[in-house]
Amino acid sequence: MKKVTIQIVTYNSEKDIIKCINSINQQTYRNIEVIVIDNNSTDKTVELLLNKYSNITLIINNKNLGFCKGHNIGFREGKGDYVIILNPDVILDKHFVEQVVKAMEGNPDVGLISGKILRMKQNFITTNIIDSTGIVMARNRRAYDRGQGEEDKGQYDEKNIIFGVCGAAAVYRRKMLEDVKIDNEYFDENFFAYKEDVDLSWRAKLFGWKCLYVPSAVAYHKRGWKESSRKEIPLFLRIHSIKNRYLTIIKNDNIISYLKDLPFILAFDIGIFVYCLFKEPKTLKYILCTIKLLPDTIKKRKQIKIKTKRLKELKNF
């Protein structure tokens, strides 16, 4: 029986983490290790974990290292053949792990899996409103969650190959993670948070790995930011979200494809700039942040190119 690592990055997650871990402990698949990486919570998250669970590995950081670096610590610590990353506000159906392991075992060319993620209210009441059935990439390079906000009427009940997986509940093959890491980073730590799931999904695709949607693997997600005003999201996270769009494109996009879709991309980027200029001028800092990280991002792009070229040469050998 293959080992599965489930890892969670927490930051003031006392309201959610217990139900999340309880759902892991109720899985029908039993060979699971749980790693929680806490980013210096100031609430009772750590206290609750220490007092309630003896079957988890708890890593406590002395500052908020971000979603990306936090999970990278987990990736290096874990021993599982498959890795599931969860947001602390996610609850898994009891068959979730069993279903994704079965799908991985039957598809050796699949490196990433998305289950059917449904919305959950703040009081943990589950709904049949879709949160994500995988990530779609539009021609304007806007990545979005397929089906988000739709009522689940069975319209996404077929297994199929998709672009990418939502980081709220993503399943990765360990071999894929080791293949695609750059500078010993699985998630790009320049991202801090937001769109790191898009970046990793895109990179995996470049390396020849497929991403599979498995509707029988069901999870429920509260997704608090989406249900509240955008202004309630901390400014620095809004800046990261926009900045990371450009880092993702610079690292992974094909020049010919980019030029072909340039009218769509420019229209979207102009819209972002105008919105920020008139509605959220402080978020214009994303421009300086992107420029600052440009040399390192170009360096990573070159490494991706080199590694993917080597892989193609090996396949043709």
> Which residue ranges in the chain fall short of pLDDT 50?
none
Could you report the per-residue pLDDT of 253-294, keeping only the tens digit for each?
A: 999 999 999 999 999 999 999 999 999 999 999 999 999 999
Query: 245 to each of 113, 162, 261, 278, how far by Cα in Å?
Result: 22, 19, 16, 20
Alpha-carbon span 94 to 153, nearest angstrom: 21
Domain 4-221 belongs to what architecture? Alpha-Beta Complex (3.90)
pTM of this structure: 0.94
Q: Give start-end residues of each CATH 3.90.550.10 domain in the chain.
A: 4-221
With a pLDDT cut of 70, the percent of the chain lying above it is 96
Check residue 62 and give its pLDDT. 96
